[in-house]
Each structure stands twice: as structure tokens, then as C-alpha cells.
Copies of this chain bind each other. A is one copy, B any other.
Amino acid sequence: MSGWVRIAGLGPGNDALITPEVTEALAEATDVVGYIPYVARVAEREGLTLHASDNRVEIDRSQHALQMAAEGKRVVVVSSGDPGVFAMAAAVFEALEKGPAEWRDLEVSVLPGITAMLAASARAGAPLGHDFCAINLSDNLKPWALIEKRLRLAAQADFAMAFYNPRSKSRPEGFVKTLEILRQECDPERLILFARAVSTPEEEIHISTLAEATPEMADMRTMVIVGSSRTRTIERNGNPIVYTPRFTPE
């Protein structure tokens, strides 16, 4: 058996942010599986079968990938960003753990990618230049009470915060509540950054404060970064630079 599964990160959108390791895996693959818009980023070629599936079928997709590998195929599971950050790696391991014992002998590896928060941070400056946390604001897979608890403790810890999946049409209220919680815990002048579709032609970077931010500033393609109390801007022509200094005084 020479099949394998490589769970690969395609980065935030621009092909110049795809690592050579991922490019090589795609070149060796017989099959690619993933969410429709991510599979659409993979070039068709002879000998490669593309299996695009819809959102919320991550376990089915993972089982399919593992089953094909067990049959000797070379399968790349594509995620945007990094596969280990709110993406397909955990789903594949859930499927592997619950699947047939022989799947544990398969060669399964994770190929890291540029995750959205680091691409967004880079475009704005260095807002995550000091201690920070990453929180998925979707309550599809966890209770809202846990999200609220993490938001409050992260604010009390004075972490910068990166929010994945801040807002969708089916969950419009979560980001409203998030802004309310942050306004209770942080100063109104706290910086908040909305980075939409980073590294793509639709990229939009908007820098605001907790006092001025509105829920509509975010959608499902937006990465939201809230600064720590130390995060600051440098004014210049065009967008200011947003960064968090390395030094924190006593």
C-alpha cells in the first residue's frame, strides 16, 4: 500500500503564499478533496481527480480521503490558510480515530500554510507582535457560553485577539454580542482591525476602535483582530501601521 493523505494549507488566497511543500504534494496527488472554493484553487491536470464538497460535511470528506488512501491513492485534503487552525486537520483526525483500525497505519501528514490571522496581521503591520489568542466565533461546534468566557478572560489577560468566522448570515448575533463583551472589558479606544479577503483582489483593510466598530464591518471573509492595550498606530499616507510593541513596562 503506497497511499497517503496530506492535509495541506493553501494560505489565504494568493498563490505566492503557497509553500513549495504544498505545491509538491499537489503535483504528486492522484486525488484532491475539500470545500468547493478551495478545490477550485487547484489546477486541473491529467491523472488528478478533484472532489469538491459543500461546507459542513467535513467528516464525510475526511472519511472519503482516508478510504481512498487505504485503497492506495495519494490524497491531498485542502484547506485555506493553515489546516491546523479551525480547518480540516482536526476533522481528518476525528474521522481517523473513529474509523477502521487499519487507517491508523496510513501515512497521514499535515502541511502547514499561512493562516488568515498572520496574513491579516502582516498587511496591517504587526498587531500580533506580542502575546495573543485565536478564537473561532462560530458557535456551531461549541456553546456560546464558552466563547463568552474565553473573550472575557482573554481581555483580562490583555491578549491581542484574532477572531476566525466572526459573522455569517446564519449567525448574525454572535459578533454583536462579541463587541458588547469587549466594550465591557476594554477601553473604547482599543484598536480593532477588519481584514477582508486578505491577499486577494477583493482585499479590504479597515482600522477602527471598539467605540466606533459596528457588526456590519465583518462578514465570513473577514478576519477580525483586536489589539491589546499596548497596540498602537503609526500615522502616515494611506492606512496607518498597526503594531503591538515588544516591550511591556512593569
Write the residues of chain A forming the contact surface with B, with a CB cutoff of 8 angstroms. 11, 14-21, 24, 58, 82-87, 89-91, 93-94, 96-97, 104-105, 108-115, 118-119, 121-123, 125-136, 141-143, 146, 149-150, 153-154, 156-159, 232, 234-237, 241, 243-250
Contact = CB atoms under 8 A, between A and B. Distances in A.
20 contacts: A19-B114, A84-B121, A84-B129, A85-B118, A89-B126, A89-B129, A90-B245, A90-B246, A93-B125, A93-B234, A96-B241, A104-B235, A104-B237, A111-B122, A112-B121, A131-B135, A131-B150, A133-B133, A154-B157, A157-B157
B105 A112 contact: no
Nearest to A82: B118
Determine the main DSSP class of A at the interface with B.
mixed
Q: Which among A84, A97, A123 has the greatest number of chain B C-beta atoms within 10 A?
A: A84
A146 B122 CA distance: 25
Number of copies of chain A assembled together: 2
Given A16-B19, A84-B122, A133-B133, 15 more contacts: A20-B20, A58-B246, A83-B122, A85-B118, A89-B129, A90-B126, A90-B130, A90-B245, A104-B236, A110-B121, A115-B118, A133-B159, A141-B248, A143-B250, A149-B157
Nearest to A147: B131
A227 to B, nearest CB: 12
Contact of A243 (B11, B93, B118, B235): B93
Contacts of A19: 11, 16-19, 114
A40 B244 CA distance: 28
B18 A14 contact: no
B112 A146 contact: no
Contact of A246 (B24, B141, B156): B141
Contacts of A91: 246
Contacts of A87: 129
